[in-house]
Amino acid sequence: MAEQRRADIVENLTNVRNAMQNASSPQETRLVAVSKYKPAQDLLYAYEAGQRHFGENYVQELVDKSAQLPKDIQWHFIGHLQSNKAKTVVSIPNLYVVETVDNIKKANTLNKACDGLRPDPLRVYVQVNTSNEEAKSGVAPADCVKVCQHIIDSCPRLELSGLMTIGMFGRDPSEENPDFKCLAECKNQVEQALPGKTLELSMGMSEDYVQAMRAGSTNVRVGRTIFGERERPQKKE
């Protein structure tokens, strides 16, 4: 059973890597294996096949898995971050980036939380609500420059390093994706307003990571295509 599970994950991972290679986009793109709800053992199979960047949505899962798994894993926090859990998250030494800074207040909270807990500035991405959906977190595209400017001016313990979007589900993959286009435009605006700054673009998931790469993504977040469908556990934080 366990060996079959390993074989499946390694095969899925290989397929994703091949598809990324074949996308032949000009920029380099990092693969983040999104492992929410999946047991640590599944992540270890991917790790042993060379995967180092993993994405988690829930603080408690991130805490548990980061304690159990190798310390050279680079963790991406990609969930909705509650202020009272900011310190817990930034305390994880091999946290690579928090991808979900979705307003100025959150940036301030994280900045403060880092005080005394991290020797180097913490990488953050600003999450943008490119689809303008009420249910989605993120800054409005029109506010993106302002929020980025704030982080650079007022959050010395944070390092602004990219923009992130989830985007609308169920878009037609044969057409240009308006969310990807919007995030790329936000990046251009920020880079023009803040000369010398180069931002990453975190966009693309299982259904559309190849398309996202063609639209300029430097960080794709792929879950189900690597680990299979998720079953929501009975109880969640």
Contacts with ligand PLP by CB under 6 A lie at: 34, 36, 57, 78, 166, 205-206, 221-225
Least distance from ligand PLP to the Cβ atom of residue 164, Å: 8
Least distance from ligand PLP to the Cβ atom of residue 60, Å: 15
Radius of gyration of the chain (CA): 17
Q: Which residue is nearest to ligand PLP (CB)?
A: 223
Residue with the two structure tokens 């983040």: 32
- Beta-carbon contacts of 125 under 8 Å, excluding residues fewer than 6 positions away, are 97, 98, 99, 100, 101, 161, 162, 163, 164, 200, 202
Q: Considering beta carbons, is residue 162 or 223 the nearer one to ligand PLP?
A: 223
Q: Considering beta carbons, is residue 144 or 205 the nearer one to ligand PLP?
A: 205
Least distance from ligand PLP to the Cβ atom of residue 226, Å: 8
Least distance from ligand PLP to the Cβ atom of residue 13, Å: 13
Asked whether the beta carbons of 35 and 55 are under 8 A apart, the reply is yes
Dmax over Cα atoms in the chain, in whole Å? Answer: 54
Could you list the beta-strand ranges (E) of 35-190. 53-56, 74-77, 95-101, 122-127, 158-164
Asked whether the beta carbons of 201 and 187 are under 8 A apart, the reply is yes
Asked whether the beta carbons of 54 and 76 are under 8 A apart, the reply is yes
Least distance from ligand PLP to the Cβ atom of residue 57, Å: 5
Q: Considering beta carbons, is residue 76 or 157 the nearer one to ligand PLP?
A: 76
Q: Considering beta carbons, is residue 157 or 210 the nearer one to ligand PLP?
A: 210
Least distance from ligand PLP to the Cβ atom of residue 138, Å: 11
Q: Considering beta carbons, is residue 181 or 230 the nearer one to ligand PLP?
A: 230
Residue with the two structure tokens 């693969």: 31
Q: 45-54 burial string, b = 16+ CB within 10 Å, else e?
A: bbbebebbbb
Q: Considering beta carbons, is residue 153 or 229 the nearer one to ligand PLP?
A: 229
Q: Considering beta carbons, is residue 34 or 148 the nearer one to ligand PLP?
A: 34
Taking CA atoms, 158 is separated from 22, 88, 112, 122, in Å, by 35, 16, 9, 5
Least distance from ligand PLP to the Cβ atom of residue 22, Å: 18
